[in-house]
Amino acid sequence: MGTPPWRMAMQSSVWPSECTLMIDLHTHSTASDGALTPDALVRKASEEGLSAIALTDHDSLDGLPEAAAAACRLGMRFVPGIEIEIAFEPGEFHLLGLDFEDAGDALREAAKSLARSREDRNRAVVELLRADGVDIDYEALREQAGTGMLGRPHIAQFLVEKRVVKNKQAAFDRYLAKGRPYYLRKACLELGEAVRIVHESGGLAFVAHPMSLFASWTRFRSLFVEWKELGVDGLEAWHPTARMADCRRLEALAHQAGFRVSAGSDYHGAVRPDRRLGHTAGDRPISDEYLSCLSR
Residue 148 has pLDDT above 90, yes or no: no
Structural contact between residues 61 and 103, judged by C-beta atoms closer than 8 angstroms: yes
> How far apart (Å, rounded) are the C-alpha atoms in residues 125 and 148?
18
> How far apart (Å, rounded) are the C-alpha atoms in residues 20 and 288?
7
Residues 212-219 have a mean pLDDT of 96
Sequence-distant (≥ 6) Cβ neighbours of residue 197 within 8 angstroms:
97, 104, 106, 107, 110
229-280 pLDDT, tens digit each: 999 999 999 999 999 999 999 999 999 999 999 999 999 998 788 899 999 9
> How far apart (Å, rounded) are the C-alpha atoms in residues 201 and 215?
29
17-73 pLDDT, tens digit each: 344 479 999 999 999 989 999 999 999 999 999 999 999 999 999 999 999 999 999
> What contacts 24+ positions apart, CB below 8 Å, involve 200-203?
200/104, 200/106, 200/107, 201/97, 201/100, 201/101, 201/102, 201/103, 201/104, 201/106, 201/107, 202/99, 202/100, 202/101, 202/102, 203/80, 203/81, 203/97, 203/98, 203/99, 203/100, 203/101
- pTM score, two decimals? 0.88
Q: What is the pLDDT of residue 247?
A: 98
Structural contact between residues 101 and 202, judged by C-beta atoms closer than 8 angstroms: yes
Residue 86 or residue 154, greater confidence: 86
266-293 pLDDT, tens digit each: 999 987 888 999 999 999 999 999 999 9
> How far apart (Å, rounded) are the C-alpha atoms in residues 252 and 109?
36
Helix-strand-coil split of the chain, %, nearest 5: 45, 15, 40
